[in-house]
Amino acid sequence: MKGRHFSDVLVLGSGPAGCTAAIYAARASRSTRLIDGGQPGGQLTVTTDVENYPGFAKAVQGPWLMEQMREQVTSVGASVTADEIVSIDLSRRPFRCVGDSGVEYFGATLIIATGASARWLGLESELQYRGFGVSACATCDGFFYRNKSVAVIGGGNSAVEEAIYLTNHASHVTLIHRRDEFRAERILQQRLFQNPKIKVVWDTAVETIVGVDDPRSVTGLDLVNVKTGVRSRIDIDGVFIAIGHSPNTSLFRGQVATDAHGYLVTEGKSTATSVPGVFAAGDVQDSIYRQAVTAAGTGCMSALEADRFLVVHGHPVVGHALQVAG
């Protein structure tokens, strides 16, 4: 036994959804613990400029924004714990979550805000060269490609942002997308098309990542045009995969209802999951919007709903927080 912690509201995940949930729960005078998970701060920690989160007239840096949110969580009285949950039991309340550290965390309610992880192409060659020219993190690894030629795979905001970011380092960036239009915000697309270092290859998929051994490194990509079937090869030194994200829900499978794509299912306009007392916020339950601000919005909803659940189920607010003068 490595310790047990009980809280009214237990939050899993430390992106905008988890942080906002913890802020609202703590300010409702609920004992609140946030477990920060395998990627503390979430997806925004591997981005650069954030220009669409309201409240900042000028672009802020994603990692900075998440540091601020985390500080806000602790300053309103919630606990932040560095741990990653490895098993859960939602069959009875309080819900039990066991951390990688062996510590047990119990929550009278549970807010799942575990977010989503970058997807890989699933090619054998991708695995072979991962870390040797194949990357999913432009802000981590772009530095290694100074004056080199790189490719980005994908067509959403992440892919377009990464392509633009990589022009700070690389001499040429080729953006390869399997469709003939981007899903990315139009302002990002405009910047992309205006950037002379970026070339876009439409309707094209990667068949193989080509490389050499000794030292192991990527040298090119074998491509196929999905409309014409024509194959081609391009020479590049590195490739960044940005084809979207999958929800981090494997921990909950069999205990909380998910849809066909693995997203947690929430009820109507609420964040309630199939398990009473368990709520879901952010990208883990959102296959459509997936924005920092929508994650924060659903994080807020989940905390308000968790508080309501606790009231209805006979958990009055206790402690010093609600002393009435006189």
Partner 1 sequence: MGQTADDTNFDQIIAQDASPVLVDFWAPWCKPCHALGPILDEAAAASPERFRLVKVNADECATLAKRFNVRSLPTLVILSAGEPVARKIGSLSRSALDQWLNDSLPPS
> By the criterion CB under 8 A, which residues form the site for partner 1?
38-41, 45-46, 63, 82, 84, 86, 100-101, 130-133, 135, 137, 139-141, 143-144, 215-217, 238
**Minimum CB–partner distance for residue 102 and partner 1 (Å):** 9
CA-to-CA dists, residue 129 to 220, 235, 247, 285, angstroms: 11, 15, 25, 32
Supply the minimum distance, in Å, between the C-beta of residue 146 and partner 1.
10
User: Residue 21: CA atoms inside 13 Å, Cβ hemisphere, count?
Assistant: 39
User: Measuring CA to CA, which residue among 261, 192, 201, 266 is closest to residue 227?
Assistant: 201
**Cis amide bond preceding 276, omega within 30:** no
Asked if 322 contacts 284 with a C-beta cutoff of 8 angstroms, the reply is no
Which CB sits closer to partner 1, 124 or 180? Answer: 124
Q: Report residue 313 as tokens.
A: 């189920």
The nearest distance, CB 170 to partner 1, in angstroms, is 13
**Sign (positive/negative) of CA torsion 201, 203, 208, 209?**
positive
Q: Which residues contact 30 (CB under 8 A, 6 or more apart)?
A: 7, 8, 9, 306, 307, 310, 317
Residue 141 annotated among the catalytic residues of the structure = yes
Q: 38 or 262, CB closer to partner 1?
A: 38
Catalytic residue among 141, 237, 283, 286: 141
Does the annotation count 137 as an active-site position? yes
- Return all residues near 254 (Cβ < 8 A) that are at least 6 apart: none
Which lies closer to partner 1 via its Cβ, residue 136 or residue 296? Answer: 136
Record the tokens describing residue 271, joined without a space.
């964040």
User: From CA 145, how far away is CA 275, in angstroms rounded?
Assistant: 47
Helices (H), the chain: 16-27, 62-75, 124-128, 138-141, 157-166, 186-194, 292-312
Shortest Cβ distance from residue 181 to partner 1 (Å)? 30
Between 39 and 258, name the residue whose CB sits nearer to partner 1.
39
Report the residue number, 26 or 113, with the smaller CB distance to partner 1: 113
**Nearest residue (CB) to partner 1, 148 versus 315:** 148
Q: Which of 140, 180, 235, 259 is catalytic?
A: 140
Q: Measured from the CB of residue 263, what is the shortest distance to partner 1 in angstroms?
A: 23
SS3 319: coil
The encoded tokens of residue 290 equal 């997936």
For the bound state, the minimum distance from the C-beta of residue 17 to partner 1, rounded and expressed in Å, comes to 18
Give the residue numbers marked as catalytic. 137, 140-141
